[in-house]
Amino acid sequence: MNLLQIATGSLLLVTGLPFTYATKTPDEFHLFSSSPEPQFDNLYLSTQSTGPLNSIPVFRDPAHAASFYVTNSSVNYIAPNKAPWVLALVHGGSAQENVEVSVSPSATVATSTGFHVSHGRQLESEDKSWGSWLVCAGQQTSLLELFYQNITVDRDIPNGCGQVQLIVANV
């Protein structure tokens, strides 16, 4: 750790700003899974269309990884058609909740803000229901799909799912 990093970290601690927000996030990045379970480890996040304005986040090989960037605590997907797609947590009543990538997530059932990249380069959410990221068999596809654990419903990991961390990787 160099002197500038130490001084910056000390200044942020003195001013009361959380250190997680001080980490420089790349302008454009990929997200991949990290898990002690080999079948859920090192999977790259991509998307699969479910309609003209919505997609689901699925896992593919690195060559098909989607690119993202963060602005104002939203995770933006860099879509081929240049539309303003964002990652959103869909709120329902189960422990295994859906995540969508949408041009227009519904404000009443989805949260598309409150994301940040931690000092460990992990994508996290400040949503009160978010417990962790989950990789599970797809509901709308044969690919593995990204879900999140809704801890307001249940703190146990649903059967057939693996708890993962989403790690930021430079493009």
The CATH number given to whatever domain includes residue 48 is: 2.80.10
φ, ψ of residue 122 to 5 degrees: the values are -100, 135
Residue 22: what pLDDT? Answer: 40
For residue 107, pLDDT over 80 is answered with no
The mean predicted confidence, pLDDT, of the chain is 85
Report the domain count for the chain.
Answer: 1
pLDDT tens by residue, 42-85: 999 999 998 888 899 999 999 999 999 999 999 999 988 888 89
Residue 98: what pLDDT? Answer: 94
Residue 51: what pLDDT? Answer: 86
φ, ψ of residue 113 to 5 degrees: the values are -125, 170
Q: Is there a domain that residue 110 lies in?
A: yes
Q: Is there a domain that residue 142 lies in?
A: yes
For residue 41, pLDDT over 70 is answered with yes
Residue 80, domain extent: 20-170
For residue 17, pLDDT over 90 is answered with no
Q: Is there a domain that residue 138 lies in?
A: yes
